[in-house]
């Protein structure tokens, strides 16, 4: 049996309707200057799904990210699930995750995600004054209110979702406030990720945080969580550490001993080892089996 691995697929590449200041993936459009609009074709989509599901493993895990994958529209995700049904193997399972800014979510897309049990991750950095500091539209306006509308759409359609919070210079000193805001909003599945980016000279970008501040943020969140919420709120990092201590299970790549849990697939079928290593010199090949 093939060692299990998942796919992280960028069907719209780095294309996005927002212009978040700290987005590390926007610049990847420069790898594909042949077109201004990047969209995965039906041919590439079928090749990705059919070749992946031809591998011998007990389950197939698809992660749909961007950029903003919701730019592909509901018909694309209908093709996704149709192809997964067509190429599925008897006795195996299929899981889909979608990471989105939620501003483009509508009832039609949400209903499809609900029907096929997609797990949706929504990017939300905290209350409006924090979230809107860096998560902006092209015209510079904040996106917080649209994100909440998208979340309401997911809730209305009974879509399972969690919150992904990028911990940056705008919220790193407010761990307690951010955690309580999420809980007060009724969001009980939290994922916190540190923002660490450098410029060409190796200096931290304005939105980046250091290790000490990241540790203080986590301590504030932990104190709030441990005080009364351990049975009702899931904080992914804490859950992962507990799984490692109790069962020896390494369920996140940062806690693992290597970096081969998944492969990234770009809109045209190019394959890379990870979305942090999408560089021309690290390209592994293409789903067409051509290495050109």
270 is catalytic: no
Helix axes 107-115, 144-156, angle to 10 degrees: 50
Q: Which two tokens stand for residue 253?
A: 């790549």
Of these residues, 106, 177, 239, 275, which one is catalytic? Answer: 275
CA dihedral 101, 261, 258, 26 (to 10 degrees): -30
Query: How far, in Å, CA of 259 to CA of 204, rounded?
Result: 24
Query: How far, in Å, CA of 286 to CA of 269, rounded?
Result: 5
Do residues 15 and 66 touch, judged by C-beta distance below 8 A? yes
- Give the contacts of 86 (CB within 8 A, at least 6 positions apart): none
Query: How far, in Å, CA of 146 to CA of 152, rounded?
Result: 10
Q: Which two tokens stand for residue 160?
A: 């399972």
**What amino acid positions are annotated as catalytic residues?**
275
């Amino acid at each position: 049996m093939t060692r299990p691995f998942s796919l992280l697929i960028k069907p719209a590449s780095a294309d996005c309707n927002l212009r978040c200041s700290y987005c590390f993936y926007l610049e990847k459009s420069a790898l594909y200057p042949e077109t201004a609009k990047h969209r995965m074709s039906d041919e590439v989509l079928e090749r990705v799904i059919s070749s992946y599901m031809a591998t011998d493993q007990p389950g197939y895990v698809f992660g749909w990210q961007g950029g903003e994958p919701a730019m592909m529209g509901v018909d694309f995700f209908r093709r996704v699930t149709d192809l997964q049904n067509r190429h599925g193997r008897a006795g195996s399972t299929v899981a889909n995750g979608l990471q989105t800014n939620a501003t483009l979510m509508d009832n039609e897309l949400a209903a499809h995600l609900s029907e096929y049990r997609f797990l949706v991750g929504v990017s939300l950095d905290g209350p409006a004054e924090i979230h809107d500091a860096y998560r902006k539209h092209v015209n510079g306006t904040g996106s917080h209110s649209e994100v909440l509308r998208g979340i309401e759409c997911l809730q209305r359609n009974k879509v399972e979702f969690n919150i992904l919070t990028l911990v940056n210079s705008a919220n790193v000193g407010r761990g307690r406030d951010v955690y309580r805001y999420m809980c007060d909003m009724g969001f009980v599945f939290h994922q916190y990720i540190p923002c660490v980016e450098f410029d060409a000279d190796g200096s931290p970008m304005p939105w980046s945080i250091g290790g000490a501040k990241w540790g203080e943020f986590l301590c504030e969140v932990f104190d709030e969580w441990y005080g009364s919420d351990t049975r009702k709120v899931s904080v992914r990092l804490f859950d992962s550490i507990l799984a490692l201590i109790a069962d020896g299970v390494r369920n996140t790549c940062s806690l693992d001993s290597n970096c081969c849990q998944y492969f990234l697939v770009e809109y045209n079928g190019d394959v890379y080892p990870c979305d942090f290593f999408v560089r021309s010199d690290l390209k592994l090949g293409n789903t067409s089996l051509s290495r050109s």
